[in-house]
Amino acid sequence: MGSCLGCHPYSNYPQLKHSSLPAGLVDRPSTRSLHLVTCGPSMVRCAEQVHHQSAGEGPRIPASCFMHGVSTFDDWQHGDRRVSNIMSAEREQSLGALPMDSWMTHMPPSLWDTPLYHLAIPGSHNAITYCLDMNHTCPVDLAQPDMLQKLDRCMKPLIRPFLYKWAITQEYSVGQQLNCGVRYCDLRIAHRPNDRSTDLYFYHGVYTTLTVEMVLGEIREWLDAHPKEVVILSFSHFLDVSSELHTLLLASIRHIFSSKLCPKMEALTLRKLWSAGHQVIVSYEHIITSRHRYLWPHITYWWANKCKAEDLMEAIERRKQRGRPGGFFVTGINLTEDLKYICTHPTESLKDLVMSSNPKLLRWVNKQTPGSKPDSLNIIAGDFITEGHFAPTVVALNDKLLQHP
């Protein structure tokens, strides 16, 4: 199963000569489909509209039509049936084929006014576990059962290898995850025990080597390079974080993201975010959210707590029958191992479990629908999201909003 880390922005693809294609188009070799180099309010995607809207420019024929023998504007203008068929086919494939590092930037204009909580958005469960501290002096996190903490103290050389195999949920940095299409990050925050500093870390089994401030700085750098992408950062599961540390964390968030922070508002859409220059939605699982206009309430996470794909899908389908929440919410397709599974699969890891189940889970995801209906989904989060076709599969669900707005 391939990795998505080969995704690149359009600027990395060779531009074609004006003699071969209309100006403003490039060929994307990985899909052999043609896209506009610039996409925004002043230029519409070639698969959606005919006209280039900059002053002094003439109309454009969608690039795919050139590939199928529609070579003149008259062919296009007079409604050649081939054009209709071509355009319909392109709409079916276009969103999943977008470059994952900038898929929001290249969304069709018809979705710019759709609330973000009605879009299908790829998410990363326990996003910062790629840098867990492998040093045996690092303690097991305090959220772990007392028995595990005692066993770790007495049998560390035996316990730690198992712990690491089942604690790592992502293998690549947050920047690489964003490049692969992730726009929701599950961030679990802790203060290390017996640490006299005010540094905060992430945790899952053990603590990370990277601090929260370091990771947020990397996200800021990525956003600066992708000014029309929007990320949702969910701060939750705070462990041993005092009121003073909360205050320091919020100050750090404000300092790092500054004007990119999106205040709480109704009808949150791409068009509104772009016009205001907002790129960061901060969800914060703490009572303090009511005192800060830029802190959004905790985002509901549907966690099935199952180690088999069939059981997970069944649990989520039952939950869907009760209706979706009104705002953002996450459907977790992350499998959860239990002690019995770990003991009966001593040579395996969480990644083995995920990779063996991913094809079945992604087939189920492909059947889901975003939108406002009671059984629709919004953010879909998983483990090892850089593997396979997780993000493109989720993003492609938004095609259904074009078919049934």
Catalytic residues: 125, 204
The whole-angstrom separation of Cα 182 and Cα 128 is: 13
Here the tokens at position 210 are 């990277």
Here the tokens at position 117 are 């909580």
Handedness of CA 315, 321, 325, 330 (dihedral sign): positive
Here the tokens at position 160 are 């730690």
The DSSP secondary-structure symbol of 153 reads H
C-alpha torsion angle, residues 170, 174, 180, 186 (rounded to 10) = 70
Is residue 130 classed as helix, strand or coil in its secondary structure?
coil
The whole-angstrom separation of Cα 189 and Cα 249 is: 10
The whole-angstrom separation of Cα 22 and Cα 111 is: 26
Is residue 295 classed as helix, strand or coil in its secondary structure?
strand
Here the tokens at position 198 are 């005010």
Which is it for strands 33-36 and 25-28: parallel, antiparallel or unpaired?
antiparallel
Amino acid residing at 197:
S
